[in-house]
Each structure stands twice: as structure tokens, then as C-alpha cells.
Structure 1
Amino acid sequence: MSTSNPLFDQERRYEIIQSLGRAITSKYVVTAVLSALVLYFTFPIYWTFVSSIKTMAGIHAFPPSLVPQEIIDPIWTNYTDLWFQRSFNMFTLNSLVVAIATTILVVTFGTLAGYGFSRFRFPYDDYVFIGILGARLLPPIGMLVPFYRMFSLGNLIDTRIALIMVYTYMNLPLVVWLMRNYFVSIPADLDEAAYIDGATRFQTFKDIILPLAKPGVAACAILTFLFSWREFLFAFVLTFTDAAKTIPVGAMMMIEDVVILWNYLAAAGFIAMLPALLFVILFQRHIVSGLTAGAIKG
């Protein structure tokens, strides 16, 4: 009776594992997997756009067509009706004003605060830093009533200023944390060399440190803009009229009492997607480098 050789069995298993590893990591398998992931994540964007140029009858048609006739002869009236007849031009303007103003405030104060925390030491600085981060840990819905009460007392309900203040409060702690860690990753020897050359603290920050931190600043600006652009909860509760409503609230208005206007809702959704798509396509290098440096260093 023959007995198996343990050494031979171990070598055989090792060869099988190596063969499987080579097969899994071959360029054809990797290409197929990545192509499937790209298709999976981009199909909702494609389907939203297709639905935005259909009629209501085309949307409810069964079975649905992946390449409908509207691709060849698109129905752009959905966008024109949405823009001019349903006040979406005002909603878009409100979103742009709120998002841009919030981004400027958050990036300006967050960058300065992050630099201060990275370069200066003062009593209880770690506790102050943790306190700033702790403000962001509160669930947004838990702050809804206090914010509403405060803005009611200040006659700021249904104004863009209220949304800008809320979004600044929500985004500033994250930007302070990211920028503080990003500045920590920049050697402090550069500051000292600039002082020796006669530069002031502000000149050192503006001319030497800040240019090196551009990827982090860009990542923070993009994240803040996208959050302010897509936020729904506070915009829904704090605004009532078209003069202050933003795109997410305007899109919800396509859901009426007895019918859902899917063609207008898809058009509104695609308009809301555009900034995120453009930022990811144009600035993905800055987003990745800024977040990785700001998140793992310091």
C-alpha cells in the first residue's frame, strides 16, 4: 500500500495556487473585471440621461430599450420646460451661490486654521482640535431643530445666508482636519529657511507653504462644493420659496400628489450630477493626492 508524500502534496498545492494566481491576475481577467465595474457604476448615469430625453410614454414603455429612439432624436424640451417653466434656473442659481460662498469661506478659514494647528503650540491645543472635530460627529438631523430655532430668531429662514451658515458649520471641521494633516506633511524646515531669508510669517505661508498645499486645498474645495451642492435635509427644512430653494429640493418638486414626472425628475437629476462628473474627470489627481496626504499623515 502506497502512502502519499507530504512534501510532494505541498509542492502540488503551491503549484495550483500559483497557477490560479497567474490566471486571476492576467491582463485579460483584470480588464474584464474593471470593464464590468465601469459598466456597473456608469449605467445609472447613462440611464438617467436617457430618461431625461424621453417622453412619459417612452419612460413607461415595456420592455424598456437600452438604446431608445430618443438617443438619435432627443427630446430637449424636458430640459427647457424644467429650466424656464419650473423655476429650475432659479434653483440652479441658488445652488451655485450657496455652494461657491460656502466653499470660499470653508477653504479660507479651514486652511488658515489647519496651518495654525500644524505650526503653533498653545495650551490645550489638542483639546481644541478634538473639539472642532467633535462638532462634526453630531448627526445632522440632531442639529436641525436648534438651527431652525436660531434662524427663526434672526429672521434668516428661507434665505441663502442660512444655508451658507449651516454648510460652513458642517464642512469646516473636516477641512481643518485635512489641511492640518496636510501641512504637517510639509517640513517645518521650509518655514525656518524662509525666516532666515527675512520673510514674515504670512509671506512664508502665502509664497512657500500654500503653493505646496495646492492638492489638499483643491480636494477640500471640491468636497465642500459637492456637499453644498447636493445637500437636501437642511435645504428642504429651511427654505420655502423659489428664491432660496436649491436643486435637490427643486428636484423633489417633480414628485406631485398623483403623478411622478419621471422625465423632469431625470433631467433634474442629470443636471445635479454634472458638477460631480466634471470635478472627478478634471481634478481626480488632486482629489486623490489631497485626500491621501491629508488623511494618513500627521
Structure 2
Amino acid sequence: MDQKLTGRKRVLYLLFVAVFLFVMVSPMLYMISASFMPESDLNHIPPRILPSAGTIKNYVAAFVQQPLLRYVFNSFVITIIAVVICITAGCMASYALTRTNIRFKTVFLLFVLTISLLPTITLINPIFKMYSKLGLLNTHIGLALIVSVLDLPMTIWFLTAVFKGIPVSFEESAKLDGANMFQMFFYIILPLLKASIFSISILVFIGAWNRFLLSQVLNQYEQYRTVVVGLTLYQTTHTIPFGVVAAAGMITVLPLMAMVLVFQKNILGGIMEGGVKE
């Protein structure tokens, strides 16, 4: 009886997982299919799941109708700058929080967490006013700077947990050899955290790449527009060319998909590294 019950539970569990995966993956699969569909297939009743004849016209139209390559380039530049700023500041802050006797460290971490919980839309107005006075509107560095600030709390919390898992004995041995704090940080600690830093870099990259509201408000000029904002420009007054939008959407998510598929083991390994204890 127990074995039958266990078997039923397993079937229900597998069924739940299958339904969950279908709900999560099916929109992406249909977007891939729609990006290769001619307009006749997209307007067909009943709707087609697979294209009757594959075509790349939607991809050609995606590049012709909007300067998509420029938008992709802008996204890469802004995202890479944001990752560099965020990881550099996050590593230094996390090391200081775990290796120095700073007062109110817990209060600071809670404050950082509170900032990360604020909706982006509540920050748009003060950020826009500040940027307009500083001349940072419609610039790569301006958007990258605020994106890195918003992703910094997650980085600090993640890396703080990782730093706590590194034995202090490594640094004590280095001190006996005459190393100072900066030497210990750059030559001893950082090499031990390559996997974790790589993992959080990927997560920050994905978050920065997908920032829509900030990109739309702060970078309104075409030469500084990001690819996620560029997707909204394919809609015309009367119609939405779904095939072209699907093709542009695939171009937008392709770098993220490739990154996750190629480095998924490194990402999981880096995250698990935070659980190592002395």
C-alpha cells in the first residue's frame, strides 16, 4: 500500500513538473516558431503552431525597420560597464563588511536590502531630475551607473555570504608573510572567489540587460537606446507585426540564452560556493 502511494505521489510530482515546464517554456517555443512564420501563417485560423514554410523575412525586417544592431551594441556597452562597477564595488564592500570591525554592519546590510526592495518607478522622478542637472541623460555611463547601483544590494548580499565562508586562516598566514590588506584581497581572496564572482556577474548582466523603465526614461535619444526599449518601436499605429516582433525578441534574448546555456554549471557552482563553511 505504501509503495502504491509512493508511486502515485511520484506520478503526481512528475505531472506537476511537466505542466510547470510546459507553461514556462511554451511561450518561448512559440516565439521561436513565430519568428520564422510568414504573415499568412500568423493570420491563419485556427492558429498554426509550426510554420508551413520557414522564412527569415521577419529577421530581415527586424533589422531594416529599426537600427537593431545599434540598440544591441548600446545594451552591451551599458551592461558591461554596469557589471564592472557593480562587481568592483560589491567585492570591496563585502570584504570590508566581513573582515573589518565596522560598527552597525547589520544595520547597513538591512539598509542595503531595503533599497533593493523599492520599486524602480518610485525612484524615476528623483533620478531623472538629478541626471538632468548633472548632464547624464542620454549617455551610456549615466544609465550604467544607476543600473549598477540598483543591482549592488544583491551583489553585496551574495558576496558577503561567500566571503564569510572563506577561512580567516588564509589571511592570517599571509599576514605572517608581511602582506597588507590590499595584497590579501587581490592576491589571496579574489582568486578563491572566481566562480562566485563569475556567477554574480552573469546575474547582474541579465538584470542590467533587461532594465526597461530606466532605459526608456533616461536614454530617449536613438543613438543611446537599448534593445529592450527598441522592441516597443516595432508596433505601428494600427498593427503589431508579431512575426517581426518575435524575431526582434529572439535577437534580444539570444545573448542571455547562450550565456545561461554555456555557463549554467559555472553559475550553479558559484552560487553553491556561498554555502562553504570554515
When normalised by structure 1's length, the TM-score is 0.84
Q: How do residues 267-286 of structure 1 correspond to structure 2 at under 5 angstroms?
A: 267-286=247-266
Q: Deviations over 1:97-125 (max 9, x none)?
A: 11111011101111111111111112333
Counterpart of 2:140 in structure 1 is 160
State the alpha-carbon separation in 1 of the partners of residues 48 and 106 from structure 2: 58
1:25 matched to 2:49? The reply is no
The letter for the 2-side match of 1:151 is Y
State the alpha-carbon separation in 1 of the partners of residues 13 and 197 from structure 2: 34
1:125 matched to 2:105? The reply is yes
Structure 1 range deviating more: 40-49 or 146-155:
40-49
> Does the aligned pair in 1 maintain the 2:165–2:275 contact within 8 Å?
no
Counterpart of 2:56 in structure 1 is 76
Q: Secondary structure at the match of 1:147?
A: helix
The letter for the 2-side match of 1:65 is R
CA displacement at 1:81 relative to structure 2: 2.5
Q: Secondary structure at the match of 2:239?
A: coil
Q: Secondary structure at the match of 1:257?
A: coil
1:67 matched to 2:47? The reply is no
1:252 corresponds, among 228, 232, 236, to 232
CA displacement at 1:171 relative to structure 2: 0.5
1:111 matched to 2:107? The reply is no
CA displacement at 1:260 relative to structure 2: 0.6
1:56 corresponds, among 12, 31, 39, to 39
1:173 corresponds, among 153, 156, 159, to 153
> Does the aligned pair in 1 maintain the 2:34–2:51 contact within 8 Å?
no
CA displacement at 1:272 relative to structure 2: 1.8
Number of residue pairs aligned between Structure 1 and Structure 2: 278
State the alpha-carbon separation in 2 of the partners of residues 109 and 207 from structure 1: 17
Q: Deviations over 1:182-205 (max 9, x none)?
A: 110111111112222333323322
Counterpart of 2:211 in structure 1 is 231
Counterpart of 2:29 in structure 1 is 46
> Does the aligned pair in 2 maintain the 1:216–1:294 contact within 8 Å?
yes
State the alpha-carbon separation in 1 of the partners of residues 39 and 276 from structure 2: 49
1:186 matched to 2:169? The reply is no
* C-alpha spacing 1:295/1:229, structure 2 compared with 1 (3 Å): farther
Counterpart of 1:96 in structure 2 is 76
State the alpha-carbon separation in 2 of the partners of residues 295 and 250 from structure 1: 40
Q: Secondary structure at the match of 2:224?
A: coil
Indicate the RMSD between aligned Cα atoms, in angstroms.
2.4
CA displacement at 1:58 relative to structure 2: 1.8
Q: Deviations over 1:187-236 (max 9, x none)?
A: 11111122223333233222322222122211210111111111111111
The letter for the 2-side match of 1:20 is L
State the alpha-carbon separation in 1 of the partners of residues 207 and 93 from structure 2: 20
State the alpha-carbon separation in 2 of the partners of residues 76 and 21 from structure 1: 49
Q: Which consecutive unaligned segments of at least 5 residues does structure 1 have?
A: 1-15
Q: Equivalent pairs: percent with the same residue? A: 28
Larger Rg: 1
> Does the aligned pair in 2 maintain the 1:178–1:295 contact within 8 Å?
no
Q: Which consecutive unaligned segments of at least 5 residues does structure 2 have?
A: none
